[in-house]
Amino acid sequence: MKVSVVIPVLNEEEYIVHCLTHLLKQKEPADEIIVVDNGSTDHTIELVRHLPVRLLHEKKRGIIQARNRGFDASTGDIIARTDADTRVPSDWIKRIKHNFRRKKIDALTGPVIYYDLPLKSKTYSSFYFHIAEVIFNNPILIGPNMSMRTSMWKKIRQDVCLDNKKVHEDIDLALHIAEHKGKIRIDPELVVPFSGRRIINNPQSFFIEYTKRLIKMRMNHLRL
């Protein structure tokens, strides 16, 4: 079972080396790590070029577009996705493989914790998983900590939403997986630390914009 890891990036010079260092020190290494640059103007590209990863470019701005570029280019049986500001644990790939080998699942996710905020427990993620499942009547995925079978990606590729202002791309993936009768597993022990910088920098905007998009998604996906 081969695992490809995809990381969309845009001006991530402060975080990307830490992220890739953790990925390159896995107990069971990824078969490929794909960094998709979405038009960085800082030193992100120069930093990535010095590391043993694949660097791709996506001209059309948007995390969905960058994600799709990486997913389409991946060669693994499993596509794992994380963010540039994560610090995945050393057994992340190993645990992903274990889940897909032992469980009849099409996609996998797990909790996230903030490494630079007081919220260092899994309580936030547990609450988020619960609320999102109530809203959408379906398990959801969390972008910094998710993976899916490449075969499932090929099934939903032409269905996924492309407007970054109307959807949360990770939840959108989950809803289209459900549309194709796919099974999503939430592994409570598959935990990924990531930065709470978006909350730190603009907490009001983060929560208001996030909630607005959840409402838009609920309305747009009622057919599911």
* Domain locations along the chain: 3-220
Determine what percent of the chain falls in helix, strand and coil, rounding each to the nearest 5.
40, 15, 40
Instruction: Provide the whole-model pTM.
Output: 0.92
pLDDT tens for the chain, residues 1 to 224? 999 999 999 999 999 999 999 999 999 999 999 999 999 999 999 999 999 999 999 999 999 999 999 999 999 999 999 999 999 999 999 999 999 999 899 999 999 999 988 766 676 788 888 888 888 888 999 999 999 999 999 999 999 999 998 888 999 999 999 999 999 999 999 999 999 887 767 666 666 676 777 777 777 765 54
Cβ contact 30:4 at 8 Å: yes
Superfamily for 3-220? Spore Coat Polysaccharide Biosynthesis Protein SpsA; Chain A (3.90.550.10)
